[in-house]
Amino acid sequence: MQLRPEQLAAQLGKPLALLYVVHGNEPLLVIEAADAIRAASRQQGFDEREVLIAGTGFRWDDLFLSAGNMSLFGGSKLIDLRIPNGKPGRDGGEALQRYCEHLASGTVTLVTLPEVDWQSRKAAWFAALLEVAIVIECNAPPLAQLPAWIAVRLQRQRQTAPQDALQFIAHHVEGNLLAAHQEIQKLALLYPEGQLTLAQVEAAVLDVARFDVDKLREALLAGDIARCARLLDGLRAEDTAPPLVLWALATDIRALARIRAATDRGLSADSALKEAKVFGPRQNAVRAAAQRIRAATARAALLHAARIDRMIKGLAQGDIWDEMLQLMLKLSQQARH
């Protein structure tokens, strides 16, 4: 059974399942979900907890030994298995499949993973977990849904805020839910329960946005030039290496050029994505961008990226950051036509 994070509390009010899997791209939500499962296990009499970290050199036999060793005091046990890199490997994958076939009564197992990539989602070990576990995928809400997420968090501490205040917080903590969580907690410390004003929020919230390259790529594919400009300014202010930024942009532009060329010659969108080696959760965004942008525009953008590369290497004159903004502007303008 797969649940959203907000559905977990209701499930934990019932007798616990034998196996839980928590994974996702947002560490705060993963931590909160795992903490909730650990708290529920204590409340339901699972007094013993054994933590296993499946890192380099981990012996998977230890998982079965842990499940087979009953508590000295006769209580039930929680096995807290953490796979930090999300890749159990061949031995680990086989062990997880066997483990799912023989879940021990009196033992609850919590498996914590980071974001599971498209390859792992197709793996037999992950399919085995999906078949028998309660699976909670904890991903960061999209930018458009972030104000609503903040509003729910405020309600938990009996505070509300107008939409413009929610938008202000979302703008200043973009891509960083841990920072958003901290800012929301700060509002509870600074102001009493009830309605907050925009002025109060502005006075309390710091600019803690995490300007990262992945968010820039996301904005580029969406054709959101205002967000592109803000994120690019943030990356520049944080002294992000220009080659890294250019590599990220050029990677997506190259994919768009290949997909556009392939569809223009009659290939289906799915086949074009596969040919361009675009897989996983970014497929929809790349597909939509490729439909908006002409092949000639994508080819011209690649030439522009090559010129920026020469600037970075000192072989051409120009403002590197301004040229990257102009590059994204051309693609965004094309996306609106």
Q: Is residue 256 domain-shared with residue 223, that is, in the same domain? A: yes
- CATH code for position 21: 3.40.50.300
Q: Is residue 225 domain-shared with residue 103, that is, in the same domain? A: no
- CATH code for position 186: 1.10.8.60
- At 330, is the pLDDT very low, low, confident or very high (cuts 50, 70, 90)? confident
Q: Is residue 331 domain-shared with residue 232, that is, in the same domain? A: yes
Looking at 204, 230, 253, the residue that finishes a domain is 204
Over residues 269-310, the pLDDT tens digits come to 889 888 888 877 778 889 899 988 888 898 899 999 999 999
Over residues 233-261, the pLDDT tens digits come to 888 988 888 998 999 899 999 999 999 89
- CATH code for position 324: 1.20.272.10
CA torsion sign for 304, 307, 309, 311 is: negative
Looking at 93, 120, 137, the residue that finishes a domain is 137
Angle, helices 242-264 vs 295-312, to 10°: value is 160
Over residues 167-200, the pLDDT tens digits come to 999 888 876 888 889 899 999 999 999 999 998 9
Domain of residue 161, residue span: 143-204
Whether residue 1 is predicted with pLDDT greater than 90 in this model: the reply is no
Residue 312's Cβ-side half-sphere holds a number of Cα atoms within 13 Å equal to 16
If one counts every other C-beta atom within 10 angstroms of the C-beta of residue 73, the result is 7
Backbone angles phi, psi at 103, to 5 degrees: -70, 130
In the 3-class helix/strand/coil scheme, how is 259-324 assigned residue by residue?
HHHHHHCCCCHHHHHHHCCCCHHHHHHHHHHHHHCCHHHHHHHHHHHHHHHHHHCCCCCCCHHHHH
Collapsing DSSP states into helix, strand and coil, what is residue 78?
strand
Over residues 198-237, the pLDDT tens digits come to 989 988 887 666 667 888 998 999 988 888 998 898 889 8
Q: Is residue 111 domain-shared with residue 153, that is, in the same domain? A: no
Q: Is residue 8 domain-shared with residue 122, that is, in the same domain? A: yes
Within the chain, residue ranges assigned H as helices are: 8-12, 27-43, 61-68, 89-101, 118-121, 124-132, 146-156, 163-172, 177-190, 198-204, 213-222, 225-237, 242-264, 269-275, 283-292, 295-312, 320-336
Q: Is residue 42 domain-shared with residue 132, that is, in the same domain? A: yes
Q: Which two tokens stand for residue 267?
A: 């290939």
Q: Is residue 198 domain-shared with residue 260, that is, in the same domain? A: no
Whether residue 336 is predicted with pLDDT greater than 50 in this model: the reply is no
Over residues 52-72, the pLDDT tens digits come to 999 888 999 999 888 876 555
Q: What pLDDT was estimated at residue 211?
A: 67
Q: What CA–CA distances, in Å, run from 325 to 50, 102, 209, 226, 291?
A: 51, 56, 19, 10, 22
pTM: 0.69
Q: Is residue 175 domain-shared with residue 228, that is, in the same domain? A: no
Q: What pLDDT was estimated at residue 324?
A: 94
Q: What pLDDT was estimated at residue 337?
A: 46
Q: Is residue 10 domain-shared with residue 133, that is, in the same domain? A: yes
CA atoms of 17 and 9, how far apart (whole Å): 13
Interior/surface letters 218-229, b for 16+ CB within 10 angstroms, e for the rest: bbbbbbbbebbe
Whether residue 334 is predicted with pLDDT greater than 80 in this model: the reply is no
Location of structure tokens 């107008």: 162
**pLDDT mean over 136-160:** 93
Location of structure tokens 């841990």: 178
Q: Is residue 32 domain-shared with residue 95, that is, in the same domain? A: yes
Q: Is residue 322 domain-shared with residue 246, that is, in the same domain? A: yes
CB 178 within 8 A of CB 27: yes
Q: Is residue 125 domain-shared with residue 52, that is, in the same domain? A: yes
Over residues 85-143, the pLDDT tens digits come to 999 999 999 999 999 998 888 899 999 999 988 888 999 999 999 999 999 999 988 88
Looking at 160, 184, 204, the residue that finishes a domain is 204
Q: What domain count does the chain have?
A: 3
